[in-house]
């Protein structure tokens, strides 16, 4: 009888090299696959820029009406904010909670469970590879938007460095919470309502709708203690705003904290969920 431990030598499973190899291979696969669908990817990204462009135009109009700024935020700031927004929004697209419903309903999970590693690893690796394609496709889009909207962007070297890390931090925070939320699909087939509610909270408290300083004070206070803004507002602000060195590094620390919290929630939920699971389809 062939068991998994025989086909895959024990020392390889769990060794750092094996993990790196798995992640890199999956990412490479994702890059190759998604580059084939570059037109579809572009359509998708193009449809997505309508949202920030609308916000940008509305707030620029208000800034212009009030002599150039709203609460100290200038038209140039709004332009920079919403252009960087497009990249951060794309980094925020992960294996979303609703996909867990599909994964369970279609019996896809059965196949995933046969593998010697958690599906979570595959999701992280695959979407991370996809992100590489997205970033490449994003560059011309950003140049085009910059020509049209005249952003005010003058980052320091540290800000660029922190931004480069923070967009991946954002990706991981959102991945962890979406995967954890997806565990609800093991208990209910009507998770959609909860996911919608979650998305709406996220829209309002993350900085996706407006830069957070425009929100009422109490909303800012509440959102400080939630993960949302660390996956959206912080990465944008690290590049566009004027955060001090200390704030920048502390922000990365908070991101790490939320990644770990999200992961912990996922691990607990997964442990209970998988006990409940009794395959569908096949």
Partner 1 sequence: MNAFRITWLFFKVGVLNELQYRVNFVVQLFQSAIALVVGLLVLALVYSHTDELNGWSQPELLCVLGIQILMGGAIKTYIQPNMMRLIEDVRDGKLDYALTKPEDSQVLVSVREVRIWQVVDLVSGATVLAVGLSRVTTDLGALDALAFGVALLFGAVMIYCFWLLIATGAFWVVNMYHAVELFDGIFQTGRWPVGIYPGWLRYSVTFLVPIAFAVTVPAQAVTSRLQWQTLALAVVFATVLFVFARWFWRFGLRRYSGASA
Q: Among 67, 72, 216, 282, which residue sits at the site for partner 1 (rule: CB under 8 A)?
A: 216
Output the smallest distance, CB 103 to partner 1, in A.
20
Say if residue 13 is exposed, middle or buried (CB neighbours under 10 Å; 0-12, 13-18, 19+): middle
Stretch that binds partner 1, among 110-118, 138-146, 190-198, 243-251 (CB under 8 A): 190-198
Sole binder of partner 1 in the list 12, 21, 33, 196 (CB under 8 A): 196
Given the rule CB under 8 A, which of 3-11, 41-49, 90-98, 241-249 is the region that contacts partner 1? Answer: 41-49
Using CB under 8 A as the binding rule, whether residue 40 contacts partner 1 is answered as yes
Answer yes or no whether residue 209 interacts with partner 1 by CB under 8 A: yes
Residue 197 sits in the site that holds partner 1 (CB under 8 A): yes
Binding mask 66-105 for partner 1 (x = CB under 8 A): x---xx----------------------------------
The CB-side HSE value for 236 (13 A sphere, CA atoms) comes to: 28
- Spatial separation of the C-alpha atoms in residues 146 and 211, rounded to whole Å: 18
Q: Is residue 204 at the binding interface for partner 1, with CB under 8 A as the rule?
A: yes
Of 64, 60, 109, 107, the closest CA to residue 80 belongs to: 60
The yes or no reply on residue 61 touching partner 1 (CB under 8 A) is yes
State whether residue 241 is helix, strand or coil: coil
- CB half-sphere exposure, 202, CA atoms < 13 A: 19
Stretch that binds partner 1, among 55-63, 104-112, 169-177, 225-233 (CB under 8 A): 55-63
If one asks whether residue 58 binds partner 1 (CB under 8 A), the answer comes out as: yes
- Residue 213 is a binding residue for partner 1 (CB under 8 A): no
Among 8, 20, 24, 54, binds partner 1 (CB under 8 A): 54
Which residues lie below 8 Å from residue 109, measured CB to CB, with a gap of 6+?
103, 119, 277, 279
Q: Of 191, 225, 185, which is closest to residue 205 (Cα–Cα)?
A: 225
**Site for partner 1 (CB under 8 A): how many residues?**
33
> Is residue 149 a contact partner of residue 83, using CB atoms and an 8 Å limit?
yes
Q: 117 Cβ partners below 8 Å, 6+ apart?
A: 22
For partner 1, the closer CB: 159 or 202? 202
| Least separation in angstroms between CB 122 and partner 1 | 23
CB of 231 to partner 1, least distance (A): 19
Alpha helices, DSSP H only, in the chain? 4-7, 16-36, 38-65, 75-91, 97-105, 108-114, 119-149, 157-182, 192-205, 217-224, 233-240, 245-276
Residues near partner 1 (CB under 8 A) are 40, 43-44, 46-51, 53-54, 57-58, 61-62, 65-66, 70-71, 148, 190, 192-193, 196-197, 200, 203-204, 209-210, 214-216
């Amino acid at each position: 009888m062939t068991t998994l431990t025989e086909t895959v030598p024990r020392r390889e499973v769990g060794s750092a090299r094996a993990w790196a190899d798995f992640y890199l291979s999956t990412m490479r696969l994702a890059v190759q696959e998604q580059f084939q669908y570059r037109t579809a990817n572009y359509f998708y990204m193009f449809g997505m820029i309508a949202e920030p462009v609308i916000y940008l135009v509305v707030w620029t109009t208000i800034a212009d009406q009030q002599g150039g700024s709203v609460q100290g935020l200038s038209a140039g700031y709004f332009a920079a904010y919403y252009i960087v927004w497009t990249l951060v929004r794309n980094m925020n697209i992960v294996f979303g909670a609703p996909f867990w419903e599909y994964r369970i309903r279609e019996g896809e999970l059965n196949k995933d469970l046969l593998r010697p590693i958690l599906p979570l690893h595959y999701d992280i690796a695959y979407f991370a590879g996809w992100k590489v394609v997205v970033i490449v496709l994003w560059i011309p889009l950003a140049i085009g938007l910059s020509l049209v909207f005249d952003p005010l962007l003058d980052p320091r070297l540290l800000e660029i460095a922190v931004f480069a890390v923070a967009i991946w931090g954002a990706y991981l925070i959102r991945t962890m919470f979406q995967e954890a939320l997806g565990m609800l699909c093991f208990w209910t087939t009507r998770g959609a309502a909860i996911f919608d509610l979650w998305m709406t909270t996220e829209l309002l408290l993350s900085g996706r709708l407006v830069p957070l300083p425009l929100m009422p004070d109490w909303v800012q206070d509440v959102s400080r203690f939630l993960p949302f803004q660390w996956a959206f507002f912080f990465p944008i602000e690290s590049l566009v705003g004027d955060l001090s060195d200390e704030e920048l590094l502390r922000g990365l620390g908070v991101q790490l904290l939320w990644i770990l919290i999200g992961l912990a929630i996922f691990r607990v939920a997964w442990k209970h969920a998988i006990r409940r699971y009794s395959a569908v389809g096949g």
